Amino acid sequence: MQVNDTTQKKSEWASLGEELGKEEPQYLSVCDVWKDSVHKLVTKAEYQTPIYLQAYTQVHTEFLHCVDNLFGTCYLWQKQYFDRLGIDKGVLNVYGQLYDSWVDQTLNAMDTYANYKKMQADMMVNTMKLGNDILHSWIDAYGRAVSFWMNQFNH
């Protein structure tokens, strides 16, 4: 996945505001209107993407710290409670090994999921690029067909 340079996009977006006071653009076709409008929307979305990612990252990081802190805070109470039960240290060690095995499996599953999401994103980007290429070839074929028909009608 590619992350665009936000400073370039920011300056491009900022320049859109400067252009508002200038004279109205002269459009040659409906496609010019659409392209100009869509370009403004895409530029704004590209500029804001890092903001969304940063906000999500901050929330996710804080959530993970809260979960980690929960088990750290409960440690003293748990130790006092389980020490009163008189659980054999051998049982605790076996339980620890079992839990370590579960943690290792979970870490492997997390790696597998991360690789899957990367592969999924790459596949989506490639599919969009392919769709864009197909769209361009269709538009090109349509343009050639219209051009051919116009030549036939003009003769």
Place of tokens 């109205």: 24
C-alpha 131/C-alpha 120 separation (Å) is 16
For residues 10-34, give the mean pLDDT.
Answer: 71
Four-residue CA torsion sign, 148, 150, 152, 155: negative
C-alpha 140/C-alpha 125 separation (Å) is 22
Greater confidence (45 vs 20) lies with 45
> pLDDT, tens digit, for every residue of 67-94?
888 887 777 777 777 778 888 889 989 9
The mean predicted confidence, pLDDT, of the chain is 86
First vs last C-alpha separation in the chain? 51
For residues 31-50, give the mean pLDDT.
Answer: 91
**Of 35-39, 49-53, 86-90, 124-128, which range is least confident?**
86-90
Four-residue CA torsion sign, 146, 150, 153, 155: negative
Per-residue pLDDT for 1 more than 50? no
According to the model, what pLDDT value does residue 7 have? 54
DSSP label of 73: H
Residue 97's identity, in one-letter code, is Q
Q: Are 129 and 2 in contact (CB under 8 A)?
A: no
Instruction: Locate the domains of the chain by residue range.
Output: 6-86
**Of 16-20, 23-27, 45-49, 90-94, which range is least confident?**
16-20
- Read off the pTM: 0.60
127 alpha-carbon distance from chain centroid: 16
Can you read off the two tokens belonging to residue 131? 């769709």
Name residues whose C-beta falls within 8 Å of residue 50's C-beta, 6 or more positions apart in sequence: 3, 6
> pLDDT, tens digit, for every residue of 124-150?
999 999 999 999 999 999 999 999 999
